[in-house]
Amino acid sequence: MAGRPTVGILALQGDVREHAALLEDLGARTVRIRRAEELAEIDGLVLPGGESSTIDKLARAFDVRDALVDRLAAGLPAYGTCAGLILLADRLQGGIAGQRTFGGLDVAVRRNAFGRQRESFEAELDVPELGAPPVRCAFIRAPAIEEIGPRARELARLPSGEIVAAEQGVILGTAFHPEQTGERRFHERFLALVARAA
Protein backbone atom coordinates (compact mmCIF):
# COMPACT_ATOMS: atom_id res chain seq x y z
CA MET A 1 0.00 0.00 0.00
CA ALA A 2 1.76 3.14 -1.22
CA GLY A 3 -0.26 6.09 0.06
CA ARG A 4 -3.77 5.31 -1.16
CA PRO A 5 -5.11 1.95 0.11
CA THR A 6 -6.95 -0.43 -2.18
CA VAL A 7 -10.08 -1.76 -0.51
CA GLY A 8 -11.98 -4.66 -1.98
CA ILE A 9 -15.74 -4.85 -1.57
CA LEU A 10 -17.23 -8.32 -1.80
CA ALA A 11 -19.64 -7.73 -4.68
CA LEU A 12 -21.72 -10.89 -4.79
CA GLN A 13 -24.86 -9.28 -3.36
CA GLY A 14 -25.78 -6.35 -1.12
CA ASP A 15 -25.13 -2.60 -0.80
CA VAL A 16 -21.80 -2.41 -2.60
CA ARG A 17 -22.18 1.05 -4.15
CA GLU A 18 -22.81 2.85 -0.87
CA HIS A 19 -19.62 1.47 0.66
CA ALA A 20 -17.62 2.26 -2.46
CA ALA A 21 -18.81 5.87 -2.56
CA LEU A 22 -18.01 6.43 1.12
CA LEU A 23 -14.59 4.79 0.99
CA GLU A 24 -13.57 6.68 -2.15
CA ASP A 25 -14.73 9.92 -0.54
CA LEU A 26 -12.37 9.06 2.34
CA GLY A 27 -9.44 8.63 -0.08
CA ALA A 28 -9.38 4.87 -0.71
CA ARG A 29 -9.37 3.15 -4.08
CA THR A 30 -12.09 0.48 -4.28
CA VAL A 31 -12.42 -2.65 -6.37
CA ARG A 32 -15.28 -5.13 -6.62
CA ILE A 33 -14.34 -8.65 -5.52
CA ARG A 34 -16.02 -11.66 -7.15
CA ARG A 35 -13.10 -14.00 -7.87
CA ALA A 36 -10.37 -15.50 -5.72
CA GLU A 37 -7.52 -13.99 -7.76
CA GLU A 38 -8.87 -10.47 -7.13
CA LEU A 39 -8.13 -10.84 -3.41
CA ALA A 40 -4.38 -10.76 -4.05
CA GLU A 41 -4.30 -7.05 -4.87
CA ILE A 42 -6.21 -5.55 -1.94
CA ASP A 43 -5.13 -4.02 1.38
CA GLY A 44 -8.49 -4.51 3.11
CA LEU A 45 -11.95 -5.96 2.48
CA VAL A 46 -15.49 -4.77 3.15
CA LEU A 47 -18.26 -7.35 3.49
CA PRO A 48 -21.48 -5.40 2.85
CA GLY A 49 -25.00 -5.93 4.07
CA GLY A 50 -27.38 -8.09 2.11
CA GLU A 51 -28.56 -11.63 2.77
CA SER A 52 -25.85 -13.61 4.58
CA SER A 53 -27.02 -17.04 3.43
CA THR A 54 -27.13 -15.86 -0.20
CA ILE A 55 -23.64 -14.34 0.02
CA ASP A 56 -22.37 -17.59 1.57
CA LYS A 57 -23.84 -19.65 -1.29
CA LEU A 58 -22.54 -17.27 -3.97
CA ALA A 59 -19.05 -17.20 -2.42
CA ARG A 60 -18.95 -20.97 -2.86
CA ALA A 61 -20.48 -20.84 -6.36
CA PHE A 62 -17.90 -18.24 -7.48
CA ASP A 63 -15.14 -20.30 -5.82
CA VAL A 64 -13.97 -17.34 -3.75
CA ARG A 65 -14.86 -18.62 -0.27
CA ASP A 66 -11.71 -20.62 0.55
CA ALA A 67 -9.35 -17.90 -0.65
CA LEU A 68 -11.28 -15.33 1.35
CA VAL A 69 -11.13 -17.44 4.51
CA ASP A 70 -7.37 -17.90 3.99
CA ARG A 71 -6.76 -14.16 3.51
CA LEU A 72 -8.75 -13.31 6.63
CA ALA A 73 -6.83 -15.91 8.65
CA ALA A 74 -3.57 -14.43 7.34
CA GLY A 75 -4.44 -10.97 8.70
CA LEU A 76 -6.33 -9.15 5.95
CA PRO A 77 -8.16 -6.19 7.53
CA ALA A 78 -11.92 -6.52 7.10
CA TYR A 79 -15.08 -4.60 7.94
CA GLY A 80 -18.46 -6.30 7.88
CA THR A 81 -21.80 -4.50 8.14
CA CYS A 82 -25.01 -6.39 8.96
CA ALA A 83 -24.73 -9.55 6.80
CA GLY A 84 -20.99 -8.86 6.67
CA LEU A 85 -20.85 -9.08 10.47
CA ILE A 86 -22.59 -12.46 10.28
CA LEU A 87 -20.05 -13.67 7.72
CA LEU A 88 -17.11 -12.55 9.87
CA ALA A 89 -18.43 -14.23 13.02
CA ASP A 90 -16.71 -17.39 14.22
CA ARG A 91 -20.06 -18.72 15.48
CA LEU A 92 -23.54 -18.35 13.97
CA GLN A 93 -26.92 -18.72 15.65
CA GLY A 94 -30.15 -18.97 13.67
CA GLY A 95 -28.52 -19.73 10.32
CA ILE A 96 -30.28 -21.72 7.64
CA ALA A 97 -29.35 -25.39 7.08
CA GLY A 98 -25.75 -25.66 5.87
CA GLN A 99 -24.96 -21.96 6.23
CA ARG A 100 -21.32 -21.19 6.98
CA THR A 101 -19.38 -18.08 7.90
CA PHE A 102 -15.90 -16.97 6.86
CA GLY A 103 -14.80 -16.37 10.47
CA GLY A 104 -12.16 -14.09 11.90
CA LEU A 105 -14.13 -12.35 14.63
CA ASP A 106 -14.41 -14.18 17.98
CA VAL A 107 -18.15 -13.61 18.44
CA ALA A 108 -21.42 -15.51 18.21
CA VAL A 109 -23.95 -13.65 16.05
CA ARG A 110 -27.70 -14.25 15.76
CA ARG A 111 -29.31 -13.64 12.38
CA ASN A 112 -32.44 -11.45 12.22
CA ALA A 113 -32.16 -10.73 15.94
CA PHE A 114 -34.66 -7.86 15.78
CA GLY A 115 -37.25 -9.48 13.52
CA ARG A 116 -38.18 -9.13 9.87
CA GLN A 117 -37.90 -6.20 7.45
CA ARG A 118 -40.84 -4.33 8.98
CA GLU A 119 -39.03 -4.26 12.33
CA SER A 120 -36.11 -2.34 10.82
CA PHE A 121 -35.26 0.87 12.69
CA GLU A 122 -32.77 3.69 13.17
CA ALA A 123 -31.08 4.56 16.44
CA GLU A 124 -28.44 6.85 17.87
CA LEU A 125 -25.60 5.06 19.65
CA ASP A 126 -22.92 6.29 21.96
CA VAL A 127 -19.65 4.74 20.79
CA PRO A 128 -16.91 5.78 23.24
CA GLU A 129 -14.13 4.84 20.80
CA LEU A 130 -15.54 7.29 18.25
CA GLY A 131 -16.37 10.15 20.61
CA ALA A 132 -19.21 12.64 20.17
CA PRO A 133 -21.69 13.03 18.62
CA PRO A 134 -23.64 9.75 18.83
CA VAL A 135 -23.57 7.47 15.78
CA ARG A 136 -26.75 7.40 13.67
CA CYS A 137 -27.34 3.76 12.71
CA ALA A 138 -29.75 1.96 10.40
CA PHE A 139 -30.72 -1.56 11.49
CA ILE A 140 -32.26 -3.50 8.59
CA ARG A 141 -33.20 -7.11 9.45
CA ALA A 142 -30.16 -6.77 11.65
CA PRO A 143 -28.19 -9.38 13.55
CA ALA A 144 -26.96 -8.98 17.13
CA ILE A 145 -23.82 -10.19 18.84
CA GLU A 146 -24.92 -12.75 21.44
CA GLU A 147 -21.47 -13.58 22.86
CA ILE A 148 -18.00 -12.05 22.65
CA GLY A 149 -15.01 -14.34 23.03
CA PRO A 150 -11.75 -13.34 24.71
CA ARG A 151 -10.04 -12.23 21.47
CA ALA A 152 -12.70 -9.66 20.52
CA ARG A 153 -14.02 -6.60 22.30
CA GLU A 154 -17.32 -4.77 22.34
CA LEU A 155 -17.51 -1.33 20.73
CA ALA A 156 -21.23 -0.51 21.06
CA ARG A 157 -24.54 -1.76 22.36
CA LEU A 158 -28.13 -0.57 22.19
CA PRO A 159 -29.81 0.87 25.30
CA SER A 160 -31.84 -2.38 25.38
CA GLY A 161 -28.58 -4.29 25.88
CA GLU A 162 -27.87 -5.93 22.52
CA ILE A 163 -24.21 -5.74 21.44
CA VAL A 164 -24.09 -4.33 17.91
CA ALA A 165 -20.41 -3.59 17.18
CA ALA A 166 -17.16 -5.40 17.93
CA GLU A 167 -13.51 -5.38 16.93
CA GLN A 168 -10.65 -7.84 16.98
CA GLY A 169 -7.23 -6.76 15.76
CA VAL A 170 -7.82 -5.57 12.19
CA ILE A 171 -11.36 -7.00 11.98
CA LEU A 172 -14.34 -4.71 12.58
CA GLY A 173 -18.03 -5.65 12.54
CA THR A 174 -21.25 -3.71 12.98
CA ALA A 175 -24.82 -5.03 13.03
CA PHE A 176 -25.98 -1.81 11.39
CA HIS A 177 -25.37 0.19 8.20
CA PRO A 178 -23.42 3.42 8.80
CA GLU A 179 -23.12 3.82 5.02
CA GLN A 180 -26.91 4.28 4.85
CA THR A 181 -27.01 7.22 7.29
CA GLY A 182 -23.98 9.26 6.19
CA GLU A 183 -21.92 8.16 9.20
CA ARG A 184 -18.23 8.10 8.22
CA ARG A 185 -16.39 7.29 11.44
CA PHE A 186 -16.59 3.49 11.25
CA HIS A 187 -15.15 3.55 7.73
CA GLU A 188 -12.45 5.96 8.91
CA ARG A 189 -11.66 3.55 11.73
CA PHE A 190 -11.48 0.68 9.26
CA LEU A 191 -9.09 2.61 7.00
CA ALA A 192 -6.91 3.28 10.05
CA LEU A 193 -6.81 -0.49 10.64
CA VAL A 194 -5.81 -1.01 7.00
CA ALA A 195 -3.00 1.54 7.39
CA ARG A 196 -1.85 -0.12 10.61
CA ALA A 197 -1.72 -3.55 8.97
CA ALA A 198 0.34 -2.17 6.09
pLDDT tens, position by position, 125-149: 999 999 999 999 999 989 999 999 9
CATH no. for residue 22?
3.40.50.880
Residue 55 covered by a domain: yes
Domain contains 109: yes
Active site residue 19: no
Marked catalytic residue, from 162, 167, 179, 183: 179
Q: pLDDT digit string (tens) for 28-57?
A: 999 999 999 999 999 999 999 999 999 999
Active-site entry in 82, 162, 183, 187? 82
Instruction: Please give the Cα distance from 145 to 52 (Å, whole number).
Output: 15
| pLDDT in the model for residue 2 | 56
Is the predicted pLDDT of residue 119 greater than 80, yes or no?
no
- Spell out the residues 6+ positions from residue 7 whose beta carbon is closer than 8 angstroms to its own: 23, 28, 29, 30, 31, 42, 43, 44, 45, 46, 191, 194
Report the domain count for the chain.
1
Question: Which domain, by its residues, includes 28?
Answer: 6-197
Looking at the chain, the whole-number percentage of residues with pLDDT higher than 70 is 98
Q: Which of 162, 167, 177, 187 is catalytic?
A: 177
Q: Is residue 1 situated within a structural domain?
A: no
Give the pLDDT band (50/70/90) at residue 153. very high
Q: Tell me whether residue 159 is exposed, middle or buried, using C-beta atoms within 10 angstroms of its C-beta: 0 to 12, 13 to 18, 19 or more.
A: exposed
Give residue 14's pLDDT.
87
- In the predicted model, what is the mean pLDDT of residues 88-107? 96
Task: Identify whether 177 is a catalytic site residue.
Answer: yes
CA distances (Å), origin 72, targets 18, 86, 178:
23, 14, 22
187 among known catalytic residues: no
- Per-residue pLDDT for 100 more than 60? yes
154-171: average pLDDT: 96
